[in-house]
Structure 1
Amino acid sequence: MKIAISNHFYAGTELSVDKLKTIKSLGFEYIEFWTMPPHINLNDEKNIDESLRLVSNSGLIINSYHAPIFKLRDDASSREISYITEIDEKERLRSVDLICRSIEVMSKSGSNLIVLHGDMKDKKRLKETKESLKKSLKEICERAKKHNTLVALENTERELPVAELKRIVDELSIENLGLCIDVGHANVFENPVEAIRTAGNYLLNIHASDNDGISDSHLHPGSGNVEWNQIAETLSQMNYQGSFTIEVKSANGIEGISLSDIKRLLKMV
């Protein structure tokens, strides 16, 4: 199992050598790269090169990357969600194009794993939303295949539990499509251990954070009520060899999220 940390840790602030050195000092070799401003501007080739060089010069390796979840705006604080589940075809295609752009850009980093959301804009039109999702996944996976990239669909909605996401992945039967189980989301919507078991062989990545089971607060693992002992046991039973990515907030500090802390949590030491 490859343990990484997301630079979402510094979401909303510019990346810097010092910030990446802090991540490196925690013992991590791998990161999941957050492909949104102000960390990277997918429309600016100079910025793209500078951002990827910054990571490379820090000694960190981009193991996976998170697809954009917001529409690109000049104002990095803009938070208008980009939905690949859009029922409006023009908007859906814009969202797909944005994700495909991130695949094209991040292929330069050497990473071959993208994590993306299937967030729902219209939860009252579940059937149409799922059809849009399936259409988008086909298009994204086709583009990703050209870059030898795996696509991991993340559990982000109560209306689309992991069992339903697995059914969709089963139905599509696309060789480079799998799942990313966000433990924090699962702890709010369902049971994290069962979610991981349900994903089974489709499991490509895990997003690890903690919470109180009510709000997705991205607490450090071990700070909420997630049963990490059970998760560790389940991953061991599955002989899971994929990625395990810490996705927490810098506001909570760095205490308790070093690589050695996470290995102890997962009973790897």
Structure 2
Amino acid sequence: MSTKFSVGIWALGPCAERFVPTGYRPEIPIAERFKMLSQIEDLRGVELHYPTEVPSIEEVEELSKKYNLAVVALPVHLFNKPKWKYGSLSAPDEKTRREAIELIKETMDVAKKFNSIVIIWPGQDGFDYPFQVDYREHYKNFVEGLKECCEYRPEVKIALEYKMTEPRLRILAGTIGICLTIVEDVGYDNLGINIDVGHALLAYENMAQAITLAAMKGKLFHIHLNDCFRRTDDDLIVGSVHFWETLELFYWLKEVKYDGWYSLDLFPYREDPIEAVRQSIENIKFFMKLVEVIDRRKDELREVFRTYNAIRGVRFLWSVLKEAVKES
């Protein structure tokens, strides 16, 4: 089965940041973004924040058909307005929590139409200071809110995405371990995890280990691919910084038989976004070629795993790289 590539449509946005709040390029209408992305070979899907990047359901349906780009995921915009400043599902105010639940349910209705998943990244659900929250109440509210959403449409998958920090200094769903705990405590089959590999790096996790843990629990619902320097959520071109760890990631995605979308979450401030997407796809293809070489020599890798011999492992990886380059 061919690899299914998709991208968050926000990659073609202005890419605003604190020093240039207007962004580095003009706002591009969603229809134009679909058209631009349709020119990228191998790209078959898009993600759109709901409701901000969905001008209307009818228009997006038309654009999806016209440009042959499936709507694969709808991340809920629960972090982009002042009203979410103390959180969404975990907010201290019941009215805010209710608004968050209703927005998630509305997003699930739309996701049903597109046969897509819903992504919840609770970027504002957390704290900034010691003694700011009652951790028990904070967690309980979050879990209960997720339960209600899962019950609403059991046929629609929800993928919880974790991140350690930013915008809150400590985000509630901060690591793979906490995220798996939340998913287990909610206890619904339609709740799983979206692993943004840059967020895993930011938490000083090993990307391959994180996806393997989620897959072992049957909860690896989706992935966001990018790279970063582990200081901030850079959303760089895939494999541009952590080459060997990214190779290991793709090896284990194959091992756990991940068959979902390979979705790019990029934020190319100064780079041409179309070229950043193209280069990421090319890099992924090369990593997959390297994985094919590893598979041909699996007995050697098994011996490394059996003995924990790191030097033998490093030699093996370099020989794999040389072999793949020769075949190119």
The two structures have a TM-score, normalised by structure 2, of 0.70
Give the equivalent residue in structure 2 for 1:171.
Answer: 185
CA contact (8 A) 1:62 1:109 kept: yes
Secondary structure of 1:25's aligned partner = coil
Matched, 1:35 2:50: yes
Give the equivalent residue in structure 1 for 2:5.
Answer: 3
Residue among 69, 72, 78 paired with 1:69: 78
Query: Are residues 55 and 80 of structure 1, via their aligned partners in 2, closer, same or farther at CA, if it must alter by over 3 Å?
Result: farther
Matched, 1:84 2:89: yes
Secondary structure of 1:230's aligned partner = helix
1:97-139, Cα deviation, whole Å (9 max, x unpaired) = 111112223322232x111113324354232221111011101
1:213-257, Cα deviation, whole Å (9 max, x unpaired) = 101011111223362111111112212122321010243323353
* Distance in 1 between residues matched to 2:30 and 2:80, nearest whole Å: 23
Secondary structure of 1:213's aligned partner = coil
* Distance in 2 between residues matched to 1:69 and 1:10, nearest whole Å: 20
Structure with more relative contact order (C-alpha pairs < 8 Å, separation 6 or more): 1
Residue 53 of structure 1 and its aligned partner are, at CA, apart by 2.1
Residue 17 of structure 1 and its aligned partner are, at CA, apart by 3.8
The two structures have a TM-score, normalised by structure 1, of 0.84
Residue among 272, 278, 286 paired with 1:264: 286
Query: Are residues 213 and 180 of structure 1, via their aligned partners in 2, closer, same or farther at CA, if it must alter by over 3 Å?
Result: same
* Distance in 1 between residues matched to 2:161 and 2:126, nearest whole Å: 16
CA contact (8 A) 1:114 1:152 kept: yes
Give the equivalent residue in structure 1 for 2:142.
Answer: 133
Matched, 1:233 2:251: yes
Residue 150 of structure 1 and its aligned partner are, at CA, apart by 0.5
Runs of 5+ unmatched residues, structure 1: 42-46, 73-77
* Distance in 1 between residues matched to 2:30 and 2:98, nearest whole Å: 33
Percent of paired sites with the same residue: 22
Matched, 1:247 2:269: no
Give the equivalent residue in structure 1 for 2:199.
Answer: 185
Matched, 1:104 2:119: no
Give the equivalent residue in structure 1 for 2:34.
Answer: 20
CA contact (8 A) 1:68 1:99 kept: no
* Distance in 2 between residues matched to 1:34 and 1:198, nearest whole Å: 27
Secondary structure of 1:241's aligned partner = coil
Amino acid at match of 1:231: L
Residue 174 of structure 1 and its aligned partner are, at CA, apart by 0.5
Give the equivalent residue in structure 2 for 1:117.
Answer: 121
* Distance in 2 between residues matched to 1:133 and 1:96, nearest whole Å: 10
* Distance in 2 between residues matched to 1:106 and 1:220, nearest whole Å: 28
* Distance in 2 between residues matched to 1:150 and 1:139, nearest whole Å: 13
1:171-190, Cα deviation, whole Å (9 max, x unpaired) = 22201111111111111113
Larger Rg: 1 or 2? 2
Amino acid at match of 2:195: I
Secondary structure of 1:257's aligned partner = helix
**What is the alpha-carbon root mean square deviation over aligned residues?**
2.5
